[in-house]
Structure 1
Amino acid sequence: MNLLFVADPLASFKTYKDSTFAMMREAQRRGHRISACEPQDMSWQTGARVTARVRHITLTGQLDDWFVADAQRPDGREAVAGFDAVIMRKDPPFDSEYFYSTHLLEQAEREGARVFNKPAALRDHPEKLAILEFAQFSGPTLVTRSADDIKRFHAEHGDIILKPLDGMGGMGIFRVKQDGLNLGSITETLNKHGTQSVMVQKFLPEIAQGDKRVLVIGGKPVPYSLARIPQGSEVRGNLAAGGLGVAQPLSKRDFEIAEALGPVLAARGLLLAGVDVIGDYVTEINVTSPTCFQEIFDQTGFDVAAMFVDALEQAVAAAS
């Protein structure tokens, strides 16, 4: 297959832990051709197909100079629908430009492209709000702009977490304990004086055992999670915030959650999702560019990238 990865700049990849790199490496090992572009490389002109300025690459097997660019058209521009599969792996934030990229990719779908994850599903599945659909698996949660609503939630639950809806990597996460210290100031910071929505959740002390990333591929759970464990006085387990990643087998509850959510997510066009679980509760459902492939492989030997490419090949064959 000819595969197009829509991702962040290749030079920014930290190949020792990057899941997109792991996907590319496994795909090339199987003989698939790899190309890449960034969202800003895509364009759509009246009466024409969606095109992208792409780079055909070959992986070298090195961690530093990890790819070489192959020969391509003089302008580097090709129809997105000309590839056998397009893998959307642009990292958040989910801003207006990301939103517009999904529209370009959706037009490419109308022209015959097969895009994973499906662009409409990326738009319609906000990663933090999504958990409210699955109330049986989520702890007490509130999404609001209202400072008064947040005060009432805090009065009810005592120890709470506040975070922006568009954050990633633990950015903008605050804990407010029973004393309510700085609740007003934190609320003003996050809700921009009532103009932006905030997610508020009851604090789950099980975070001490880790914020588990449960990967679901093609509707089926990877049998290991990566528990991201907060370090020192930090409340956040995110690896980007200094959390320690520890791979571990899925618990009975993890399997219950993943097996319930997996078929629903797959049916919506989400080939890959990262379900975040603290204790017994889902706290987020990540669909833009879920990670942790390499950490799980390095610690357990389970080849997550191979499972992903298996699912990708099957999805492309089913759509052909």
Structure 2
Amino acid sequence: MKIAFIADPLASFKTYKDSTFAMMEAAAARGHTLYALEPRQLFARDGRVLAEATAIGLTGQRDDWYVPGDTAVHDLAAFDAVVMRKDPPFDDEYLYATHLMSLAERHGARCFNRGQAIRDHNEKLAILQYPDFIAPTLVSRDMAALRAFVTEHGDAILKPLDSMGGDGIFRLTPTDPNLGSVLEVMTGRGTRTLMVQRYLPEIVDGDKRILLIDGVPVDYCLARIPLAGETRGNLAAGGRGVARPLTANDRRIAEAIGPRLAAQGLLLVGLDVIGDCMTEINVTSPTCFREIMDQTGLDVAGMFIAAIEKHCLAS
């Protein structure tokens, strides 16, 4: 198969931990031909979606890890699979890329995840579809309502709706002398919508990333444990990743919502769970493949490529 990866610049990859690189390795090992492009290299002409994509070969090295081949313009539907792996933020350009993916899908392109499914699942807001599995949560731009929520629960986490890696997250209490200032800045004085959730003290045991492949949970999650004195467990914020078997509750959440997400066109999903509560549904470029693979020997990347093969052969 010819598999195109829409991703960040290849030179930016940290191959020792990059999930997209792990996917590429697994695909190459199974005999597939790899192509890479950035979202800026997508364009539409006369109703068709085209891409300026570069064929790449893997060297087996961790530094000079790829060899670029020919760069040419391809119809996106000419690839056997298109894998969207561009990291957030989910800005206008990201949105436009998903619209182009959806247009290409009408002409036969097989995109994973599907453009419409990515648009329909803001990684923060999507949890609101599953209220039985989440902590008390408010989404608002009203500073008085946000302050009242913090006062009601005594300890809360404030999040922007379009960031990743723990960026812009604040832990707030009613007596925090900066509470008013934080709310003013983060909401742009009431012009920007935020999410606030009750603080979950179980974060000290890890913010668990549970991977779903075609609606089925991977048997191990990655618990991202915060640094001492830090609220965020994100690896990008210095958290330490420890692979663990899924608990009964982890599996209960994953098995309850996994098939519903898969049915909407989400082949790969990363659920974030703290304690017994789901906090995010990641659909843009879920990570933690490499950490789970290195610590458990489970071939998560191979499982993902096998799922792509299954869908492509079935269509």
TM-score by length of 1: 0.97
Matches within 5 A, 1:285-296: 285-296=281-292
Matches within 5 A, 1:178-193: 178-193=174-189
Q: Which residue of 2 aligns with 1:202?
A: 198
Aligned length: 315
Matches within 5 A, 1:94-113: 94-113=90-109
1:126 partnered with 2:122:
yes
Matches within 5 A, 1:75-224: 76-224=72-220
Q: CA deviation at 1:48?
A: 4.9
| Residues 147 and 174, structure 2, Cα contact 8 Å, conserved in 1 | no
Q: Which residue of 1 aligns with 2:37?
A: 37
**1:168 & 1:300 partners in 2: Cα distance?**
26
| Aligned partner of residue 181 in structure 1, secondary structure | coil
Q: Percent identity?
A: 60
Q: CA deviation at 1:24?
A: 0.5
Q: CA deviation at 1:181?
A: 2.9
Matches within 5 A, 1:281-320: 281-319=277-315
| Aligned partner of residue 54 in structure 1, secondary structure | strand
| Aligned partner of residue 25 in structure 2, secondary structure | helix
| Residues 214 and 262, structure 2, Cα contact 8 Å, conserved in 1 | yes
**2:301 & 2:18 partners in 1: Cα distance?**
11
AA at the equivalent of 2:41: D
| Aligned partner of residue 283 in structure 1, secondary structure | strand
Q: Which residue of 2 aligns with 1:244?
A: 240
| Aligned partner of residue 44 in structure 1, secondary structure | strand
**1:181 & 1:230 partners in 2: Cα distance?**
24
**1:248 & 1:91 partners in 2: Cα distance?**
25
**2:189 & 2:70 partners in 1: Cα distance?**
53
Q: CA deviation at 1:58?
A: 0.6
C-alpha distance after superposition, 1:82-121 (max 9, x if no partner): 0001001100000000000011111111111000000000
TM-score by length of 2: 0.98
CA RMSD of aligned residues (A): 0.9
**1:197 & 1:61 partners in 2: Cα distance?**
45
Unaligned segments of structure 2, at least 5 residues: none
| Aligned partner of residue 313 in structure 1, secondary structure | helix
Q: CA deviation at 1:305?
A: 0.3
| Aligned partner of residue 48 in structure 2, secondary structure | coil
| Residues 82 and 112, structure 2, Cα contact 8 Å, conserved in 1 | yes
**1:181 & 1:25 partners in 2: Cα distance?**
50
Q: Which residue of 1 aligns with 2:48?
A: 49
C-alpha distance after superposition, 1:200-241 (max 9, x if no partner): 000000000000000000100000010000112111100000
| Residues 151 and 173, structure 2, Cα contact 8 Å, conserved in 1 | no
**2:177 & 2:270 partners in 1: Cα distance?**
33
**2:228 & 2:221 partners in 1: Cα distance?**
22
Q: Which residue of 2 aligns with 1:235?
A: 231
